[in-house]
Every structure is written in structure tokens, then in C-alpha cells.
Amino acid sequence: MIETKNAPFDTARWQQRFDELRRAHNVPGAGLAVAVGCQVHELASGVLHLGTGVEVTPDSVFLSGSIAKVYTATLVMRLADEGKLDLDAPVVNVLPEFATPDPDATKTITPRQLLSHTGGVTTDFNFDGGRGDDCLANYVTAAREVALDCPPGTAVSYGGIGFVVLGRVIEKITGLTWDQALKNLLFEPLGLQQSMTLPEEALRFRTAMSHLDGAPAPAWDLMPRSAGPAGRVIVTAGDMARFARMHLDGGAGILSPAAVAAMQQREVDVPDKWTVSADGWGLGWTLYDWNGITGFGHDGAAVGQYAYLRVVPQANLALVLMTNGGGARLLYSDLFRELLAELAGVTMPAPFAPAPVPPPVDLTPLLGTYRRAGVVITVSRKDDGTPHLRYEFVDEMAHMSPPLDMDLQPVTGTVFAASGAGPSFSDEYMPVVFSTLTTGTRVCYIGMRAAPKSESR
């Protein structure tokens, strides 16, 4: 374990820097937690709601978005620890109602593949399973008709369906709802009193309002209850840091040290190393390699709220940033770059950008249409020869956003820099990555999600 360069943690200095960077990137409000050694330092900055001006405090709760997947993964690993779930046996052994449009694939998909995003199931399926305790069962039934992104085991493709399926697996094994299982098996044993899953529970606390385009969003949380295992844990930055602390402390009675280590073991490399700064994926965790210093964590996005978790085991350090809008990605990049350098000796990579001298690229093999459930990506040339990409939500996802048109600048022969989707999601440029599956199918990665090529141009 390395020693921190600045101990004890200088709360006043970092509070000042946190405030400066939050203002610079127009983030309305944010919570920050720094777990270093055996202490968790909790900082707050800005306001919960631009309309009311209520200030963020350390006990304010935020939407954590996809970081919920790590909570679900932790529950899955606890069941595996107890001998109640085999990570390498087909999901249908526990959940016979689970299915995909490919019957052969259905028979082979395992919990390990779902945890590592190698099961081929997609993420863009926002089915509302209702408000009742049967919401996950309803979601799993509806998801049977959603096409796979790729055959199981052939590639990583970031997916939410898989974690809702895992949430339903938890329900079948424990006899509890996913929400209650999280309380009984994780929140209560760890003393996490400001962690919850349902919107009505958040009303007991100071709650961060989502913001879009510099104004409060029309609604606080648009996700259905059925999205919970993949996308909704409502939490303070401090409680999330204490959750991460459990993983740093060898499981702290929740998991065995072997299960904790297994979650951090690389299951798959990722072609897109920029969207969420991933070098690989473990069981639930995103894995990082900062010039030989390894770490794990996850990013999360809800409507107008963005969260970031980074853990550096050899420095005994966990960082959590939770925000409610604005240039959240830029705030994360600047703030964590400084914190990780000082507290863990980590040098974060430079923001993704085009190559200083663009390499010559034969675009012809990449031209065409790429499709996955709810999304169509079209790669073409403009009249002047400039590579161009159009990203469209279709079918039941058509209401999500207008089509996005982007020019592409080559970084390598298969990696391109596109104008970003806004500072909340990317730095100045967004990565577009082309890869080929073991089956020979070409895919286009945007947002870590693989869309297979369906036709050429």
C-alpha cells in the first residue's frame, strides 16, 4: 500500500477547490466523498435546485444511475458465496422464464456473462414493469423479444437488461423483492441509512433535483421501478463511499475476500477505452489501469444527474462524485485528476481527442448501417468526403432524443473522434469505435454498446 502525499486530508483546501471547479463547469450542485484510510470525508457544494436555491449538504441524496449495477452485482456475489447461485450455470436454471429471440443463446447465457456485459443483451430497453412487486418479473417477460447485440461470449456490450435479469434472479433465490434484498443484505448490515431504491423513500431526505440545459428538469426521476437493478440506487456520496469501503476491506462480512477479488478480476478487455475510461470489465466493476496502478469503479447517469466512483486499492482510497446537471463530466475529469494524483499517485489519461495528425483511413469497409434494439447508426461520407455518423433512436426509443449528426475525425483506423453529446457525457469529443466479433461481424461501439452492421453503403 502506498502512502498518501498529503495526510491528513486537507478538507478546507479541497472544499475550496471543489467549489471553484463546480462553478467553472456550471454544475448546479454536487456531493463529494473521499474515503482515505479509515475515514470518509464528505463535502458538498452548490444547490440542490436552481429554482429554490436550497443548498447541497453532505446528507443530500442523488440518483446514482448505473452505479446501481455494482450494488446488484454485490448481491449476486453474496448469493454465489452462500452456494445458492452458480455463476457459470445457465440463467434459465434459476429463471426458466428468461429468454431471448435466439433459443440457442438463451440456453447458454450465464450470470457471469451478464455481470461482465458479455451475454449479448442490450441496454436500451426502458420497459415499465409497473409499480408493483412484480415489476421485474414483468420486465423479464417483455425483454424476451429484444434482439441481442451480439452472440453470448463473443464481445463486451454494455447492457442494462442483464442486470434487471440478475435482479429477478436475486428475487427468485431470496424470496424478497430486489429492493428489500438490497436493504436486508447490504444497506442494513453496513449501516447505510441514506441509501434507498424508491423515489418515495427519498422524500425523507434533502434530495437533488435533476437539471437539463441549465434549468430544473420537468420531472425528478423518469425511470420505472423495474429499472432499479440496472439504474436506480438513491444515495449520498458518503454512503456510496462506505459501500466502496466494504470492497476495500475484503468484504467486511458481506462478501468473502475471494468474492471481492473475483469481482475485480478482469473478465474481458474492452475496445472502447474512453467512454467510461475502462481498460477492462470484471464482475460488475469497470476496471482501470493507470500506468500500472490498478483500480475499479463505475459511472452512472440518470436524467440530469451524473455520478462517478473510483477506487484505488493500493492507496486504500475511494472517491465518489455525485452531481445534478451541467458539465458533470468535465467536473469529474478535473477534480478526480487532481485528487487521484495527490492521494494515490495516479496520472489519469488525457481526455479523448482526435490525433494531432489524422492517419489515412480507408473508410469503405466501415460504411453502412449498424443496428441494435432501439438504435440505428448510419456511417457515410459527406459530399466533400468527410466521414459522417448519424445516431437515431427508433421504435419504442424514438422519443428519447432527436437524431444526432456528427462528423468523424480518425484517431486510428478503427477509432474516430466525434463531436460530443454534451459535457455531461463526454469530454470535447466522443469516441466511436469499430471492431470485429469472433464471428466476423463488424460492430460499431458508441457508449460502450455494440451495434452489429446490417448493411453496407
3-state SS, residue 246: helix
**Please, which residues bridge with residue 410 across strands?**
416
Is 125:143 a contact under the CB 8 Å cutoff? Answer: yes
**At 391, which helix (H) or strand (E)?**
strand 387-393
Cell 486510428 maps to which residue? 412
- Could you give the CA distance from residue 350 to residue 357 in angstroms, rounded to a whole number? 17
Pairing of strands 195-196, 317-323: unpaired
- Strands 234-235 and 62-63 come out as antiparallel
Contact indicator for 78, 71 with CB cutoff of 8 Å: no
How far apart are the C-alpha atoms of 398 and 403, rounded to whole Å?
9
How long is the chain? 457
Q: Which three cell numbers stand for residue 430?
A: 466522443
Cell numbers placing 417? 473522434
C-alpha cell recorded at residue 117: 456485459
Residues 450 and 208: their CA atoms lie apart, in Å, by: 32
**Rounded Cα distance, 446 and 416, in Å:** 11
Residue 66 appears among annotated catalytic residues: yes
* Cβ count within 10 A of residue 308: 26
Instruction: Extract the C-alpha cell encoding 180.
Output: 428489500
Catalytic choice (45, 66, 210, 277): 66
* Contact assessment for residue 244 and residue 258, using Cβ atoms and an 8 Å cutoff: no
Which residues sit opposite 419 in a β-bridge? 429
The answer to whether 254 touches 212, Cβ cutoff 8 Å, is no
Query: Would you say 285 and 73 are in contact if contact means Cβ atoms under 8 Å apart?
Result: yes
Question: Which residues are known catalytic residues?
Answer: 66
